[in-house]
A and B are shown apart, each in its own frame.
Chain A
């Protein structure tokens, strides 16, 4: 039992967790028909998270984190994310089959096109929902009281200090980036990027009906951003981040004195001190020239290179300005996991570190 637990702890290390989650997401999209139409596979996908939480709750350390009033809704949310992605994919796969057979999509069937009245049909449903949700919330608040604490004290920072659950993804990104990037620029890009989707991608396919085959890249990119870079990071921040903001396995005791060697090194130090064996230049532009060049290549040369090779199809389809916007947003999104993995493998701190100007990437 102990060995199984320690193996699961290893599997939940962020490097492995994110990699396996990306593979799982890819596999789910690739074998979508099997995952959504096969009864046993569907039951496995929807039942596994429940079974995992149910069995894990028997373990002492997992139970301590699971039963926290803050964490209860997050566990629910994780299952609902799985359920709704599965449901949307199931409907999409069914519609893709209809399209392949030349039949109209499910949403365009005559009986589906029929409209219902606001009163009584919609209002009645809404009333029932209001009643049920109210009952549920009242019961919940009685069974699991809200975790109220004493008045805040600026000198007393709880260890670990966690943001509200919906910001835990951003807090996780803050570990790898400077505050002005992870706290200002990247959230702005997320909001602006989501708003810009209809302009970058005016393809009308998939409007008003579920489909996957017609929008496979778009849906996968969105799922990557949402499931991996948002929901999974919330899960990490909730269940895997412990005292001193160290990573802990799901069955690991939150030991305040856990020692994790994390000595981080800037790219400039890697190159000047370790690779070239000379001292760090004192002038910041010379010192950070490699990082600046690398990021310059990443943000300016890669879109051009991809426009001619890998993403040629998208470039021709989208046109210049939507392509530039889309590829830039995409590169910003990919910078997050790239930076995370570089931190986890090479202990890379910043590509460009100019503390003189509070400019660090």
Chain B
């Protein structure tokens, strides 16, 4: 017992430092350069990939556009002429206008306006929406979204798709989601 303890103290005094640790410290600059270079190259590759998310030119339909004068629209109809170009329907009822974004709230297909059935119907999973945009059949969990609508200074209707109004969040009560026009 006594021998063992004395041996242990002797060992400590002879080898105060761990030789492996010293080796590691000696190599530290090299390791630092190596890992630094690795991290830098990975970082550059990642940054390059992220750069793809911000293209120089973006072929997107404009988010704000004019759709003509209020008198161009017939009361009680859904105008589908802006669907191809801007991805919206313009609905004119007896009180005014609102703009529905033509993206199904189920999985994002483009529904069709069926004028004879008086409803929007999605060809992918059969979701149906009333003229107001309220969902009533199929799996769509919420109504179609509305875009901001206002009158421009020249008297044309101005639509802003970047502002969306969701019925379930109370967005349709917002005054810019509906354009009163007698």
| Complex CA distance for A178 and B107, rounded to whole angstroms | 9
Give the residues in chain B near A161, CB-CB below 8 Å. Answer: 109, 123-124
Which stretch from B8-16, B36-44, B112-120 is at the chain A interface? B112-120
Give the residues in chain A near B125, CB-CB below 8 Å. Answer: 171, 174-175, 245
Q: Are B126 and A244 in contact (CB under 8 A)?
A: yes
Q: Are B136 and A264 in contact (CB under 8 A)?
A: yes
| Complex CA distance for A355 and B122, rounded to whole angstroms | 19
Q: Given known contacts A161-B109, A246-B126, is B141 in contact with A175 (CB within 8 Å)?
A: no
Nearest to B117 among chain A residues (CB) is: A259
Give the residues in chain A near B112, CB-CB below 8 Å. Answer: 157, 159, 244
Give the residues in chain A near B128, CB-CB below 8 Å. Answer: 262
In the complex, chain A residues 161-192 whose Cβ is within 8 Å of any chain B Cβ: 161, 171, 174-179, 183
| Complex CA distance for A46 and B123, rounded to whole angstroms | 35
Q: Are A360 and B141 in contact (CB under 8 A)?
A: yes
Q: Are B137 and A157 in contact (CB under 8 A)?
A: no
| Complex CA distance for A160 and B128, rounded to whole angstroms | 14
Q: B139 at the A/B interface (Cβ < 8 Å)?
A: yes
Q: Are A245 and B141 in contact (CB under 8 A)?
A: no
Q: Are A245 and B123 in contact (CB under 8 A)?
A: yes
**Looking at chain A, what size class is its interface with the partner chain?**
20 to 34
Give the residues in chain A near B122, CB-CB below 8 Å. Answer: 157, 244-245
| Complex CA distance for A154 and B102, rounded to whole angstroms | 11
Q: How many residues of B contact A (CB 8 A)?
A: 28
Q: A198 at the A/B interface (Cβ < 8 Å)?
A: no
Q: How many A-B residue pairs have CB under 8 A?
A: 79
Question: How far apart are A79's CB and chain B's nearest CB, in angstroms?
Answer: 28
Q: Given known contacts A159-B123, A160-B123, A356-B168, is B136 in contact with A178 (CB within 8 Å)?
A: no
Give the residues in chain B near A155, CB-CB below 8 Å. Answer: 83-84, 87, 102, 110
| Complex CA distance for A360 and B142, rounded to whole angstroms | 10
| Complex CA distance for A360 and B114, rounded to whole angstroms | 27
* Interface residues of A, dominant DSSP: loop
Q: Given known contacts A355-B142, A355-B168, is B126 in contact with A175 (CB within 8 Å)?
A: yes
Q: B169 at the A/B interface (Cβ < 8 Å)?
A: yes
Q: B155 at the A/B interface (Cβ < 8 Å)?
A: no
Q: B164 at the A/B interface (Cβ < 8 Å)?
A: no
Q: Given known contacts A174-B139, A358-B141, is B109 in contact with A157 (CB within 8 Å)?
A: yes
Nearest to B139 among chain A residues (CB) is: A175
| Complex CA distance for A350 and B114, rounded to whole angstroms | 25
| Complex CA distance for A358 and B139, rounded to whole angstroms | 13
A 342-361 to B, binary, CB cutoff 8 A, 1 in contact else 0? 00000001100101101010
Question: How far apart are B134's CB and chain A's nearest CB, in angstroms?
Answer: 11
| Complex CA distance for A350 and B138, rounded to whole angstroms | 10
Nearest to A358 among chain B residues (CB) is: B141
Nearest to A350 among chain B residues (CB) is: B141
Q: Are A262 and B141 in contact (CB under 8 A)?
A: no
Question: How far apart are B123's CB and chain A's nearest CB, in angstroms?
Answer: 4
Give the residues in chain B near A257, CB-CB below 8 Å. Answer: 114, 116-117
| Complex CA distance for A324 and B147, rounded to whole angstroms | 47
Q: A158, A171, A176, A262 — which one has the most chain B CB atoms within 10 A of its CB?
A: A262
Q: Are B106 and A179 in contact (CB under 8 A)?
A: yes
Give the residues in chain B near A358, CB-CB below 8 Å. Answer: 141
Q: B121 at the A/B interface (Cβ < 8 Å)?
A: yes
Nearest to A171 among chain B residues (CB) is: B125
The residues of B with any CB-CB pair to A shorter than 8 Å are 83-84, 87, 102, 106-107, 109-112, 114, 116-117, 121-126, 128, 136-139, 141-142, 168-169
22 A-B residue pairs with CB within 8 Å: A154-B110, A155-B84, A155-B87, A155-B110, A157-B123, A160-B124, A161-B123, A174-B106, A174-B107, A174-B139, A175-B125, A175-B126, A179-B106, A243-B123, A244-B122, A244-B123, A245-B138, A257-B117, A262-B128, A262-B138, A349-B139, A360-B141
Could you list 8 further interchain pairs (A-B, Cβ under 8 angstroms) beyond the known A161-B123, A355-B168? A155-B83, A157-B122, A157-B124, A158-B123, A159-B112, A178-B139, A257-B117, A262-B128
The residues of A with any CB-CB pair to B shorter than 8 Å are 154-161, 171, 174-179, 183, 243-246, 257, 259, 262-264, 349-350, 353, 355-356, 358, 360
Q: Which 3 A-B pairs have the closest CB atoms?
A: A245-B126, A262-B137, A159-B123
